[in-house]
């Protein structure tokens, strides 16, 4: 099924040859900033009505298009993972999946909007490790990750790479460490805002080196990487789902990957441990969420469709090409996802408190 994207008009999109996407569900996402629309066409037609709520509605679910909300810019790593699983999930569910980018505040704007969307299964959030760091970074966070959502299941865990503009002098991580220590705030560090995985990794890097760089926030590491390739910023820590292509083409310089083992798709890239920075290890886990009152029968259908997508050979192959792998069937469950989210919230709280970083 072709995935295609077109700029989303301010009004809810009228899909080619189809009636307007359910207005009530988009109301929860009203005031969207930039948004790009990708329609995963599918076999089944969207019938009228639909939605969560009572048993019969949950039993009939889905009857309409489903919106997958991505809390960062189009073209970035979260967007890439979402579009990869959206297509097979759309086929399995028998309705179109519309991918919508809602940017800002390190992903917390989108999460807050989905928390308040209708609990009918037609608005789903794709988010990553940032869901577990947000409570520590944003004291006045508009939502509680554990109370205001139901988890659907884990999707994948993505390694991060330390990369730089291709003409930055250091050639090894050891040389980069010296460069950062010597140049400090003269060095610009791109990220996707407080709460983003790139910001967390940059925080860990600065903490490990006891240096302070000048952070340059973007609405996603898609546009940040564009500026890194263009030489407008100096360094970034970003996911292999975004950097693999640019590393392979030599458009950015890569120093290390933040996983215990090397990544098959980047065999020449040493791990941070090999390169002498063992304390910098972080993987970006992703999961799907729905508003807390979504009927369990609806969540179950989404979980089942997620498992089918994660077993899809195209998804497996494309994630492997980008240095990642799908979560196991055991981890693609609400139970495993909730356990991961809860334990990660506890893990990052003291680290972020110690670093004294806040998003507001």
Closer of 70 and 176 to ligand MLT (Cβ): 70
| DSSP conformation class of 195 | T
3-state secondary structure of 207: helix
Query: Residue written as tokens 């979980």?
Result: 303
Stretch that binds ligand MLT, among 75-83, 162-170, 298-306, 352-360 (CB under 6 A): 75-83
Helix locations, the chain, DSSP H: 23-27, 55-60, 77-93, 108-115, 130-137, 173-183, 197-209, 221-229, 240-248, 296-310, 313-321, 334-355
Nearest approach, Cβ of residue 157 and ligand MLT (Å):
13
Q: Using CB atoms, what's the residue nearest to ligand MLT?
A: 76
Q: Which of 38, 78, 132, 133 binds ligand MLT (CB under 6 A)?
A: 78
Q: Out of 102, 196, 203, 252, point to the residue binding ligand MLT (CB under 6 A).
A: 196
First CA to last CA distance, the chain = 42
Q: Does 202 bind ligand MLT (CB under 6 A)?
A: no
Strand partners for 67: 98, 123
List the structure tokens of 79.
Answer: 């967007």
Separation of alpha carbons 32 and 35, rounded Å: 7
30 alpha carbon, distance to own chain's centre = 21
Q: Which of 220, 287, 326, 334 binds ligand MLT (CB under 6 A)?
A: 220
359 lies in the site for ligand MLT, by CB under 6 A: no
Q: 3-class DSSP state for residue 175?
A: helix
Question: CA 62 to CA 73: how far, in whole Å?
Answer: 27
Q: Which residue in 105, 141, 180, 192 binds ligand MLT (CB under 6 A)?
A: 192
| Binder among 68, 72, 255, 289 for ligand MLT (CB under 6 A) | 72
Whether the CA torsion 330, 331, 332, 337 is positive or negative: it is positive
Q: Closest Cα partner for 205 from 145, 271, 287, 272? A: 272
Given the rule CB under 6 A, which of 12-20, 132-140, 216-224, 272-280 is the region that contacts ligand MLT? 216-224
Q: Which is nearer to ligand MLT, 51 or 130 (CB)?
A: 130
| Residue among 45, 84, 266 nearest 159 (CA) | 266
Please give the Cα distance from 243 to 299 (Å, whole number): 32
77 lines the binding site for ligand MLT (CB under 6 A):
yes
Residue 39, interface with ligand MLT (CB under 6 A)? no
Binding-site size for ligand MLT (CB under 6 A) equals: 15
* Least CB distance to ligand MLT at residue 114 (A): 16
Give the pairing type, strands 149-165 and 97-101.
unpaired
x-marked contacts with ligand MLT along 113-152 as a string, rule CB under 6 A: ---------------x-x----------------------
Residues 37, 117, 154, 197: which binds ligand MLT (CB under 6 A)? 197
User: By CB under 6 A, which span of 218-226, 269-277, 290-298, 328-336 interacts with ligand MLT?
Assistant: 218-226
Helix axes 313-321, 296-310, angle to 10 degrees: 70
Single out the residue of 221, 240, 246, 333 in contact with ligand MLT (rule: CB under 6 A).
Answer: 221
CB 228 within 8 A of CB 250: no
Backbone phi, psi, residue 32, to 5°: -60, 140
Using rule CB under 6 A, residue 76 touches ligand MLT? yes
Question: Binder to ligand MLT among 222, 295, 323, 359 (CB under 6 A)?
Answer: 222
Q: Minimum Å distance from CB 60 to ligand MLT? A: 33
- Which positions touch ligand MLT (CB under 6 A)? 72-73, 76-79, 128, 130, 192, 196-198, 220-222
């Amino acid at each position: 099924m072709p995935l295609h994207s077109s700029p989303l008009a301010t009004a809810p999109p009228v899909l080619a040859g189809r009636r307007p996407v359910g207005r009530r569900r988009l109301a929860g996402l009203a005031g969207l900033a930039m948004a790009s629309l990708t329609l995963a066409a599918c076999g089944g037609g969207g019938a009228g009505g639909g939605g969560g709520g009572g048993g019969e509605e949950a039993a009939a679910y889905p009857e309409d298009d489903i919106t997958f909300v991505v809390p960062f810019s189009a073209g970035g790593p979260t967007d890439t993972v979402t579009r990869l699983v959206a297509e097979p999930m759309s086929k399995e569910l028998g309705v179109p999946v519309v991918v919508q980018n809602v940017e800002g505040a390190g992903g917390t704007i989108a999460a807050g909007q989905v928390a308040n969307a209708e609990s009918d299964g037609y608005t789903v959030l794709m988010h990553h490790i940032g869901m577990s760091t947000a409570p520590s970074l944003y004291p006045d966070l508009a939502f509680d990750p554990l109370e205001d959502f139901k988890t659907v299941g884990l999707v994948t865990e993505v390694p991060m790479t330390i990369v730089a503009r291709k003409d930055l002098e250091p050639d090894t991580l050891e040389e980069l460490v010296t460069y950062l220590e010597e140049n400090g705030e003269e060095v610009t560090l791109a990220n996707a805002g407080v709460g983003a995985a790139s910001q967390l990794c940059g925080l860990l890097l600065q903490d490990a080196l006891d240096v302070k760089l000048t952070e340059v926030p973007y609405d996603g590491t898609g546009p940040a990487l564009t500026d890194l390739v263009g030489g407008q910023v100096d360094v970034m820590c970003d996911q292999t789902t975004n950097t693999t292509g640019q590393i392979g083409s030599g458009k950015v310089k890569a120093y290390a990957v933040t996983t215990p083992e090397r990544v098959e798709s980047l065999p020449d890239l040493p791990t941070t441990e090999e390169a002498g920075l063992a304390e910098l290890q972080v993987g970006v886990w992703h999961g799907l969420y729905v508003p807390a009152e979504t009927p369990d029968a609806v969540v179950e259908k989404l979980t089942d469709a997620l498992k089918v997508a994660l077993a899809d050979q195209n998804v497996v192959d494309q994630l492997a090409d980008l240095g990642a792998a799908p979560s196991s069937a055991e981890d693609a469950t609400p139970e495993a996802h909730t356990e991961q989210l809860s334990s990660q919230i506890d893990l990052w709280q003291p680290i972020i408190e110690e670093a004294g970083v806040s998003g507001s």
